[in-house]
Structures are given as C-alpha cells and as structure tokens.
A and B are shown apart, each in its own frame.
Chain A
Amino acid sequence: MTISRKPPDATIQIDGKIHAVDPSRNLLEVALELGYDLPYFCWHPALGSVGACRQCAVTQFKDENDTQGRVVMACMTPCTDKARFSLAHADAVTMRAAVIEFLMTNHPHDCPVCEEGGACHLQDMTVMIGHAYRRYRHTKRTHLNQDLGPFVGHEMNRCIACYRCVRFYREYAGGDDLNVFGAHHHVYFGRASDGVLESPFSGNLVEVCPTGVFTDKPYGESYTRKWDLQQAPSVCHHCALGCNLMPGERYGRIKRVENRYHGALNGYFLCDRGRYGYQYTNADDRPRRALLEGAPIAAAAAAAQLGAWIEQGRVLGIGSPRASLEANHALRALVGDANFHRGVAASEAACDDALVQILRQTPARIASIREAESADAVLVLGEDLLATGARLALALRQSVRNAAFAMADAANVPRWQDHSVRLLAQHAKCPLFVLSARATGLDDIAKRTYHGRPADLARLAQEIVHLFDYTQPRAPGLDDDAIHLAHDIATALRTAQRPLIVAGTSAGSVALLQEAANLCVALDKAGVAPSIALLPRAANSVGTALLGGDDADAALARIEAGEIDTLVVLETDLYRLAPAARVDAALARVENLVVLDALATPTTAKATLLLPAGSFAETDGTLVNYEGRAQRYFQVFVPDGDVRESWRWLQQAAPAAGLDLGDTLDALIECCAQAHPQLAGIVDAAPSARFRLAGSRIPRQPHRYSGRTAMHAHRDIHEPRPPQDADTPLAFTMEGARSGAPPAQIPIFWAPRWNSVQSVNKFQHEINGPLRGGDPGVLLLAREASATYYERPAWQPARELEVVWLHELFGSEELSARGAAIATRVPRPYVVVHPDHANGLADDTTVICDCGGQRWHAKLRIDATMAAGAIGVPYGLPGVPVLPVDARVMLVPA
C-alpha cells in the first residue's frame, strides 16, 4: 500500500493514556506502533485491513460518560480525533479470547512437528491471549493437501482462514492460480488442482501465512527451530535490486532465507529467486579444498603460491559483478590497476558504464523500490522485470493502484480499507506502459504494450522525447500505431505527478539506456519531475563499474596476445562471458590459472590453483545495488574446509606478493575507500568491527540457541570455542546485546512475545515505514552536473533475425539456477520467433540453432508477441552458449 502520512494532529485515548496520532490511520497499526501487543491475523501492513478474523477487538467509547462502550475491530477503526479506546476492557478481552478459541477449535496440535513451531504468529497470539485449554470436544474438520511445487509446502488442516494468502497472492502479486474454495467452515486455500504455484512471489506465502499452512518446502525437508538458527543480515546476490535477506544456518548449511525488512527496498516481500536462490551454497560439488594441479594443498601454502605467482608479474585479474566490492578491490590492488579487468563482457561493461554515468548526471530522481511503488505513471523500456528485477515488478504492480488510492482519498475512504478501496476503484489503474521484446508478466496491468528489438524500443522512446522537446529529432520510420502510442505515453507522463522511467542493461543496448536518460532530460525540461530506475544485471554491477577496470573481452585479448602468465579469476565463469572456443584457446596460453569461486564451474575445472571461496552466506562484503546503494552483508556461519572469503584469500596472498592488504574486513574497506573516492561511502554502509552495543557484540544466535555442545559431540565431546569474528561486531554466539542493534546489523527479528517474522513491527520506526535508525545502506552516487541529450546511433532496420536476449527468473542468473529447488523450474533451452519468421517450422519442435559454428538444440517457441526481425534467445540458461555481439542464428530442424 502506498503510504500517505499526515501529521499526528489527532488525539486518542487508549486505556486512559493520551496519544497524538495520524487520524488517517487505523487503530491497529497505531497501537502496534505505540508498543501495545494487540493480536491480529488478517491484517497485514502491506495488504491493509479487511475485518475478517475479528481478532483485534477493542472497546470504543462514545465519550467520557460512556462506560459500556462497544466492541470494534481495531484494524477497521480510524483514529479519529478524541476517540476513546480500551484494549483492557472486559468485553474486548473476552472477545479476543473468544476468537482465538474459535480458531483453535480446528487447529491441530501438531506444533512439535510443524516447521513454524516457535516462530508461528498463531502460536504467539494464542499465548499472548492466554488461551490454554480447549473446551471444544467435537471432531475437527480436515482437508487433503496439495503438491504446490518445489517451493511451498501445504498443510491445510492448520488453516485459520485469515485469507491473507489469497489477498497477497492474487490482489497484491497478481497471481490467479491460488484461490479460496468452498464455503462456511470448509473453506480451502489452494490451487484448482495440484501443481506448481505459478507466481514468482509464491515463497512469500510462507511469511504471509500466520501459521503452518504454507511452509518453506526446502526448509521443511530438514527444518530447525528459529531459535536454533544462526542468522546474520544479508543482501540478495541474485539481481541488482539489493533486497535484504535473513539467511539462517544450522549444521553448516543454510536452512532457509527469510525476508529482511528494508523500508526503501524489499519491504515485506522477496521474489522466489531471492528466497530460494541460496540453495547452491549447500551443493555437494562445491569446491571446499584448495587444490594445486588437482591435489590438495594447505591453505597457507595455496595463498603463498598465489602471491608468489603475482610477484613474478605478467599477471592479470578478472573480477566479478557477483563478488563483493572488497574482493574485487583486493584483486585489483593485488594485480595492479592496469591488470585488473571486470568480469563482464565488453558489451555489458559499456552498458554498466553508461548506466552509472546516467545515474550521476540525470536530472531524474533515482527511484527506490518503495518510491517506484508510489509512481503514478510508469514506462518500462526494454526490461522483462519479472525476470530481471522481480521485486521491482511487484512494486510496479502496486503503483498502478495509486489511481485507486486517489479515488479513495477523494471519497474519504482510508487507504487501508482494502476491500472498500478496491470496490470504489474497480479497475481504475495508473498508466503503465511496457515496451519489451515480447509479452511480459506485467502486461495484464499495462495500459499499452509494444514489442520490438532494443533499437525499435529506443526509437519509440525517441519519439516520446520529441513530443516533450521539439528540438529533438523525430524517430525515423515509425508506423502510425507506434506514433499514437508515443503520444499516449507522452500524455500519461506529462499529466502524472510522479512519473517513473524503468530501463536496464538486459537487452545489452547502450542506446536504449541513453534514450531512457534522454527522456528524463526532456521530462525535466518540460517541468515534469521524473524518477528513474535502471537495472544492471548483477548484484554488484554498479559497484564494479564504480571500481572501474577494463572488460573481460580486453582481458582475453591480452591473454591471446601472450602477455599473461598468471590469470586470477575471481568468482567468474569465463565460459559465461565469451564463446567456449575462445576461452579454451585463451586459457591454453596461460601458465597459471588461479580461480576463486564458491561453486564448481567450467572455469574452476581448468584451474591450476583452485581457491574455494565462501558463498554470500559465508562471507562479509559490500554490494552496490541499482540505485548506487552500498549495502553490507554479513557472514552467517564459518564454513568447513578451506572455504573463506575471496578477499581473505587475496589478503593472505598479498604478503608473498610484497603487498599488505590488511587482515580484516575493515582494513580492506578502508583501503578500498581511500583508493577509490567514489566508493568512500561504503565505510558507512554498516558499523565497523569496533562497534559495540552496550559494550557487547551482537549475537548471531538467538538467546535460546540449543545444542552447542551436542552438535559437535560426534567429533569431540568438548564444546569448541566459538569462531571469533574480527571483521564485524557480530558474534558467533548467543551471548551479547540484542535490542537496539543498528538496522544494518539486526541478525534476527524477534521481540518478547513476538517470535514470528511479524515481530518486524517492533523494529520499525513506523509500521510499513523505515526501520528504527533508518533503512540500511549508503547511497554512493554523487550527482554531477545535469546532462544534455545523448547522441543517437543511426537507426538500422531489422536485419535477418537479430539475436535479442530474453531473461528467465529461474535460469538466467548463475548462482540461483544451481540450487536444487530452482533447478526444477529452469526451462530447457528454447528460442522464440515471431510467426512470420518460423519458416515453416512448427511450434514446440526441437531445432538446432547455429551461430557461426556454435550449435545447440532448443525448443522452438512461436510467439505472436515476439518482436519482428528478432530471435529471442534465453540469457545464461544451461545449454545455451554465449554468443558474440551481433550474432546471427540460423534455425534448422533437428
């Protein structure tokens, strides 16, 4: 829900205490914010109020003489000035007790075998209300469960029918394959039949469900109580949005990832790639030992060997946009600025550089995800957001509802009155335009869509620019439909209060990015204040672009030229950057290939020296998201074997290379900040290792953490000394200070009586607003003088089947696709063409794709929405090779 805050100019009484509150809000959220423990189920801060569960009953009095009062639902009651409420009044107390007693008539006593046990909102509320004895002595209603796919488990007998699942899944996230069936006390929440939940946000059901109906399926396979999970605040590594995660570990494995609330970014929700992408960290084939020529080598010797090779010179380092800034910086420092190359192909580096330049120079505001949610007109230029930045797509789905909120405001209906707002507004939507290579998952809420090659989309954008600023040339060769569409879009943007332009690098087109920038310039000149969101591909694309360095194509050229003896590859699979033949040839020319990575790749298979790197969950580091927000993520647990942070390997190699990179994270951050003034802000992304809370560290383990001795007893009956953390103020123990942790370093959302994820209420400055102490991260990008228009490349009409990259939520991103659950959702290789280009081939047949001798099998998908003149090839999918720029692909029947 888009928040609209008003000043706290109403005074209400709660049990005799006077509070100044915002009268546009409801009593439940206000009471929670004020610290009252008022139980609820159907209300959700992002979903609003519907008055279904009747759990948040309070007594409202007419005036000071009214002692009787009447029971009202806090979630449905506005905080009007001079209103008098009681939470403690007998009628309210007994009503709340009654509701929980009703809910528990059917709820099974299976808490001991339920994944949610100990972190269950229903449990919390039941205990809070004091319901301890079941008077109901009759049979319970029972249901059959469904197989909902690899992500979400289903146990309907636990259902308390709060309707939050369907409200989130359908009304908030736009899914239509989950619903409520039946009536009276036989309501059933599920799919029409067994099958995979189709929504890319299905995993949120686990947190939206107040009990154990929808559970995290991979977690459920070997779950651990929340109090036994060791947790640390983390940041998603699977796209550039920078959503905040809370991974939990037990026995050396990440058991699950929960949402970590961030007021400006992910809020309460993650996409399924973010939630389940961690599973690669538990893969059996992960490198865990340092290997020299395939043989184990002691870690210290391995590091020294790397240092020695670097000392010998003729060295080149290739960094990675999926690795931390610290690791990239350490590599750059170790090999020298001139020998450091970014782990991206030339085309991507060009896009990333253009993106950063635009962000620095655009007159537009850079939109956080939360700000995108408040946009009232949106143009998506070339991104299939549900694949390249799904959480942002979810925000845009909310943005179109601002038309409804405006109507509600006009009718004096509070925005949190969810169903009233929907009833009033019906299908009214703010305009969203999606310009893409083919149909996307946002089309159902789009006012208009347009499909074309990146150059076609840029051309349409140019026409819009022209409509705002006639000094800019008209776009060449547009047909009437496209010109009308440009007019429609221009009108929508012009009349909007908060227009937003979304673009990205997924199409590999600098021209498209620059046209998005041009549009912002034009809007700005026309007096419309735009916002912009530009999505690069990887979690640290912006960070590595800021760090600088030449690209991987240039690196390969230097290797091919025989300039390099030692190649150090950081968390990059070269085979995803260039055609295999080229990489093979280049690697053959290198004497020492050093690879640091957390997963086994074709590149690690060729390593002379393999240094096992920690995954995101095993390391600390800093990522810079699409906004230029530097965010620190923290090590959840200390891994077995030789696995350690990439940057630590490099630090440990430094002395042998005659360098000193320090031996802590803070030292490296300091060194990075000094070497790169544009990154100076990263120091403040989170408190340093010296930070103490009331003199203590912040424990990663909950205060009820159990089995510290027992879990090692098969190896040694003595409890091992907990690992020491020299890099952060967090500790691998249960001892320390808990409350008041800085927002970037909250390792667990928990508060007395609030064991579930709903406890985040207790950590927010205001419900749905920023965390206490501010949302984590530091915006790095200093704004430079505003730009003028970018020059446009000459437009070329479609050539025969130009390759256009398509993206998949599951499969296009390297790390997440390796996880067991997500792997089942990765499509087989395919290609997409418009029916006009099918050349007699039938839909869904297997074809051989031929690109300059590289051949691979794929399923042909004939799609009437696919851009004409293009062949859509899925990016990064297993079985789909890397293609050179300007590749042409021939299709022949298999």
Chain B
Amino acid sequence: MTQRTRPPDKPLTDRIRPEHPPYGLADYERHGGFQGLRAALKMAPQDVTGLIKAAGLRGRGGAGFPTGVKWGLVPMGADAPKQKYIVANADEMEPGTFKDRLLLEGDPLQLIEGMIIGGYAIGASVGYIFLRAEYVLAAERLRAAIRECRARHLLGRDILGSGFDFELYLHTSAGRYICGEETALISSLEGKRAIPRAKPPFPTTAGLFGKPTVVNNVETLCNVPHIVHYGADWFRRLSRCGDGGTKIYGASGKLRRPGAWELPMGTTVREILEEHAGGLRAGLKLRGFLPGGASTDFLTAEHLDLPMDFDSVAKAGSRMGTGTMIVLDDQTDVIGMVRNLMTFFARESCGWCTPCRDGLPWGEKILAGLHTGRGQPEDLDVLRQLTRWLGPGRTFCAHAPGAMEPLQSALKHFRVDFERAANRGVPIAATALQESR
C-alpha cells in the first residue's frame, strides 16, 4: 500500500486504463484506494458530511443538488430510524450520456468505496447500486468487486475494525428511463412500477421501504473517497468555478473524436468540443447542442465560450444536466432530431399524470407530421402550448418538463425550420430513411 505523494488532477479517471479491465482490490489499494474510507472511518459521521459540504460537491446526475446538504437531511442520532439506505443511481439512461458507464466499467471499486463512506456518513447499513439492465459488463465488474470487498471485510460486519457494518447489493434494472428519477428509482427498487412519488416526505426521511434513503449519482459518489482523502480545499481547487471538483464531460454527434473526458468543472464548451472532441467533422458546421443530455435546452454557437458549470449554463438558459453534450450539425434535420427526442420521452413516460402521458404522444405525432411533410400551420401553436402545459409544476415529476426543454429551445432557435415544415415545406432532404421510421 503506497501513499501518494501528489494528489491527482483527474481523480475520477486516474485509475482507469482504457481497454483494460479495472484494477482488482490490491492494485486499487496500491493506487490510493480505500485511503478515503480509512480516513472517513476515523471521523465522526457528521464530520464526513461536513467535509462533503465544504468541498462544494454538487450532484452529477443533472440537478446539481449539493451532496453534503442532502446527506445532512438524513436523521441522525439515537432517535433516528435504525435502518437507513444509500443508493447509487447507476441508471444512466439520459440519451447522449455515457459518463457513468466509464466509471462503472473502469473503476468499480471507486464507486463502492464512495458508497461505504456515504453509508457511514448517514448511518446506512445497506446500500444498493441501481444499475441499468444494459450495462452488462459493468454489472459483471461490480459483482466481482463487491465479492472481493466482501472477502476482504471491506463490506459486511465491522468494516476495517471500525464497528461499522455495511452490506452492498447490486440491483440490475429491467429498463425504463423514468427509473433515473430519484423517487421512481426507489419505487422500482421496491419491486414496483417505477412511478415517481409525492414529496414530502423526501427520500432522506422516508425513502426505500419508508426508511431514510440517500440516492446519489455514480459520478457524485466516486468523488467522495477523494474528497475525504485529499480534503475539501484540494477538491475546490480542481475546479475553475465555485462548484468543486472535476466533471466528466462528454460529446457525441458528428464530431471528429467524440468521447468523454474528466476536466476541471467549468471548462468551456469550446475547449470540450474543439480541443477534446476535435471539432465537427469536415464540411459540417455547428448549429446547436444539447449541453447535458436529451432533457436540456439547445444552446447555439454563440454559447461556445460558456463555462460548463451548473450556474453558468443555467444563466445561458439551459442546464448542465449530465454534462454530456449532443451536437447538432448543419446537415442534420433539427425537426427529425426533436422528433426523435419526443418519441423517446413519450415512450418513457410512466403514465401517471395526464399532461405527460397524453401530451407527449401528441407532441410526438405532430413532430412526426412536420418531419414527413404532413405539417399544418396550427401544429406550431400546439407545440408552443405543450411547452407551457408540460412545464415545471404542471406535471407530477420532471420528466415532461425535461422533454419540453429541447422542444421549446428548438422552437426558439430553429424557428425557420419549424415554420417551413408547418407550411408543408419540402421536408429536409437526406432524411428519406429517417422518415420511414
């Protein structure tokens, strides 16, 4: 076991070797693994939470809620419920998002360590990793890592002689995007239909099986061991903005080198797209991009110098979301793209509330009409109305409002395309195949 001399710049991916299997436990520990846990177990649980708060870690699942604050909402002390849970949200299903897969396949022990520390901080004795069904390789590697930890008493009773008991189980899902919503995920983990729940009570007071439960994104939890190990100040210094740490940014679309990179929080869009992704392919121009997955508003070329952090992107009228960008080039039909998104959101509605269940399919059908030359002028009125009627507060959860973000911004930024389609203009060429879908 070696103590690092110098803290890493890219803590999350430091141990990940592309195209190689992840480190086993021995190598993981040799590369600084479980130092965070060892340090944490020597602290009072509340102090661990305090440290996470001080580090300015915000949830990497999309909403950006401060992780330490969330942990702090869990009842602690003698009166608190005996049974509590921590859940890793590894249901990465946001279209265009592939950052957690990297962490899960590349360094599963890092997540496990983060979960044990999180469990210790909130007093949970059981953790679940809620993994999407399609991540078969990740499931395999997580299972092996859990087995290894269990064998080495890093999971189970009296972890590292601390008196802290923690058991960890892998739950593989059976599909459905809505499972990524925190309360729907809990419903699903209880073996039910993944229907979001009313709040209050919040999961931190009554979550899984009615017990206090913290649900954190994979990337969020992976930061935890490093914060405990290297300290809050170090973590804050990794960032270029007020929020601490690095961020795994990604980019897909017609780019020269699409991919995912761990970069300082607050790295600009231009840097990500041009330096890391190599810019658009030859002959293509940027028309716009979804900054953080399918449920974020389109931004355009004028936003290239925007730092990718929660507040800056929000100020620009979108959301950082998962930080994985989807790029729209000038040869791709924007209506086809928005139609594709709407098909996805309509299909993935859980069916609980009316605007989402019945409004999204209407939007989808209108967009299909616009995309295939069957548009009508009044279609745009309905689409614009949908963006209001399916907006925040109007629906039971954030699914439909998320669906409206690309739609409303597309209607704004690419108005001409929509108006042409609504007036039965010639459908964009090069999409003959797409139409037949």
Q: Does B346 contact A (CB under 8 A)?
A: yes
Closest to B346 in A: A184
Complex CA–CA separation, A680 to B389 (angstroms):
61
Q: How many residues of A contact B (CB 8 A)?
A: 42
Give every chain A residue within 8 A of B357 (Cβ-Cβ).
102, 161, 184-185, 187
- 6 more contacts with CB within 8 A, not counting A184-B350, A184-B351, are A53-B353, A99-B354, A185-B357, A186-B351, A423-B201, A425-B210
Query: Which B residues between 126 and 160 are near A, CB-CB below 8 angstroms?
Result: none
Given A53-B354, A95-B389, A185-B361, A419–B197 Cβ distance below 8 Å? yes
Q: Give me 8 A-to-B residue pairs in the complex whose CB atoms sit less than 8 angstroms apart, sorted by A's number.
A: A50-B198, A52-B353, A76-B198, A103-B358, A161-B351, A185-B349, A185-B357, A413-B200
Give every chain B residue within 8 A of A419 (Cβ-Cβ).
197-198
Interchain nearest-CB distance for A159 vs B (Å): 11
Q: Does A54 contact B (CB under 8 A)?
A: yes
Given A102-B362, A424-B210, A52–B393 Cβ distance below 8 Å? no
When each residue 350-374 of chain B gets 1 if its CB lies under 8 Å from chain A and 0 otherwise, what string results? 1111110111111001000100000
Q: Does A305 contact B (CB under 8 A)?
A: no
Instruction: Find out whether the CB atom of B198 lies under 8 angstroms from the CB atom of A105.
Output: no
Given A103-B354, A187-B351, A70–B201 Cβ distance below 8 Å? no
Q: Does B384 contact A (CB under 8 A)?
A: no
Interchain nearest-CB distance for B294 vs A (Å): 16
Query: Which B residues between 313 and 352 are near A, CB-CB below 8 angstroms?
Result: 346-352
Complex CA–CA separation, A425 to B369 (angstroms):
48
9 smallest CB-CB distances across A and B, nearest first, come from A102-B358, A426-B210, A187-B351, A98-B389, A138-B365, A184-B349, A420-B198, A185-B361, A54-B354
Q: Does A244 contact B (CB under 8 A)?
A: no
Spell out A's residues near B (CB within 8 Å): 50-55, 57, 70-72, 76, 94-95, 98-99, 102-103, 105-106, 135-136, 138, 141, 160-161, 163, 180, 182-187, 411, 413, 417, 419-420, 423-426
Give every chain A residue within 8 A of B197 (Cβ-Cβ).
419-420, 423
Given A105-B358, A184-B347, A185-B349, A71–B393 Cβ distance below 8 Å? yes
Given A54-B353, A54-B394, A180-B193, A135–B358 Cβ distance below 8 Å? no
Give every chain A residue within 8 A of B353 (Cβ-Cβ).
51-54
Spell out B's residues near A (CB within 8 Å): 176, 193, 197-201, 205-206, 209-210, 346-355, 357-362, 365, 369, 378, 382, 385, 388-389, 393-396
Partner of A51 from the list B201, B346, B349, B396 (CB cut-off 8 Å) is: B396
Partner of A424 from the list B193, B206, B355, B365 (CB cut-off 8 Å) is: B206
Given A54-B396, A71-B394, A423-B197, A185–B354 Cβ distance below 8 Å? no
Given A135-B382, A423-B206, A426-B209, A413–B201 Cβ distance below 8 Å? yes
Give every chain B residue within 8 A of A423 (Cβ-Cβ).
197-198, 201, 206, 210
Instruction: Find out whether the CB atom of B198 lies under 8 angstroms from the CB atom of A102.
Output: no
Complex CA–CA separation, A102 to B396 (angstroms):
15
Instruction: Find out whether the CB atom of B201 lies under 8 angstroms from the CB atom of A183.
Output: no
Complex CA–CA separation, A183 to B365 (angstroms):
18
Give every chain B residue within 8 A of A425 (Cβ-Cβ).
210
Complex CA–CA separation, A185 to B350 (angstroms):
8
Instruction: Find out whether the CB atom of A54 lies under 8 angstroms from the CB atom of B395.
Output: yes
Given A51-B396, A138-B362, A183-B176, A102–B382 Cβ distance below 8 Å? no
Give every chain B residue within 8 A of A103 (Cβ-Cβ).
354, 358
Give every chain B residue within 8 A of A424 (Cβ-Cβ).
201, 206, 210
Given A420-B201, A423-B210, A105–B351 Cβ distance below 8 Å? no
Give every chain B residue within 8 A of A57 (Cβ-Cβ).
394
Main SS class of interface, A: mixed
Complex CA–CA separation, A679 to B357 (angstroms):
58
Complex CA–CA separation, A71 to B393 (angstroms):
7
Instruction: Find out whether the CB atom of B349 lies under 8 angstroms from the CB atom of A183.
Output: yes
Give every chain A residue within 8 A of B361 (Cβ-Cβ).
105, 141, 184-185
Instruction: Find out whether the CB atom of A420 lies under 8 angstroms from the CB atom of B347.
Output: no
Complex CA–CA separation, A180 to B193 (angstroms):
9
Interchain nearest-CB distance for A300 vs B (Å): 63
Instruction: Find out whether the CB atom of B198 lies under 8 angstroms from the CB atom of A98.
Output: no
Interchain nearest-CB distance for B309 vs A (Å): 27
Interchain nearest-CB distance for A341 vs B (Å): 58
Give every chain A residue within 8 A of B200 (Cβ-Cβ).
413, 420
Interchain nearest-CB distance for B277 vs A (Å): 34
Instruction: Find out whether the CB atom of A417 lies under 8 angstroms from the CB atom of B393.
Output: no
Complex CA–CA separation, A95 to B385 (angstroms):
10
Instruction: Find out whether the CB atom of B210 lies under 8 angstroms from the CB atom of A55.
Output: no
Give every chain A residue within 8 A of B209 (Cβ-Cβ).
426
Closest to A425 in B: B210
Instruction: Find out whether the CB atom of B389 lies under 8 angstroms from the CB atom of A135.
Output: no
Closest to B378 in A: A135
Interchain nearest-CB distance for A80 vs B (Å): 14
Give every chain A residue within 8 A of B358 (Cβ-Cβ).
102-103, 105-106, 185
Instruction: Find out whether the CB atom of A55 lies under 8 angstroms from the CB atom of B354.
Output: yes
Give every chain A residue within 8 A of B382 (Cβ-Cβ).
135
Complex CA–CA separation, A425 to B201 (angstroms):
11
Give every chain B residue within 8 A of A182 (Cβ-Cβ).
351
Complex CA–CA separation, A502 to B193 (angstroms):
37
Instruction: Find out whether the CB atom of A417 lies under 8 angstroms from the CB atom of B394.
Output: no
In this complex, which of A103, A180, A184 has the most chain B Cβ atoms within 10 angstroms of its Cβ? A184
Complex CA–CA separation, A50 to B198 (angstroms):
8
Complex CA–CA separation, A138 to B369 (angstroms):
10
Instruction: Find out whether the CB atom of B210 lies under 8 angstroms from the CB atom of A163.
Output: no
Partner of B355 from the list A54, A135, A136 (CB cut-off 8 Å) is: A54
Give every chain B residue within 8 A of A105 (Cβ-Cβ).
358, 361-362
Interchain nearest-CB distance for A92 vs B (Å): 11
Partner of B359 from the list A53, A94, A102, A187 (CB cut-off 8 Å) is: A102
Give every chain B residue within 8 A of A180 (Cβ-Cβ).
193, 351
Give every chain A residue within 8 A of B393 (Cβ-Cβ).
70-72
Give every chain B residue within 8 A of A76 (Cβ-Cβ).
198
Instruction: Find out whether the CB atom of A102 lies under 8 angstroms from the CB atom of B350.
Output: no
Complex CA–CA separation, A419 to B187 (angstroms):
12
Interchain nearest-CB distance for B39 vs A (Å): 35
Complex CA–CA separation, A641 to B197 (angstroms):
60
Give every chain B residue within 8 A of A99 (Cβ-Cβ).
354-355, 389
Complex CA–CA separation, A50 to B389 (angstroms):
19
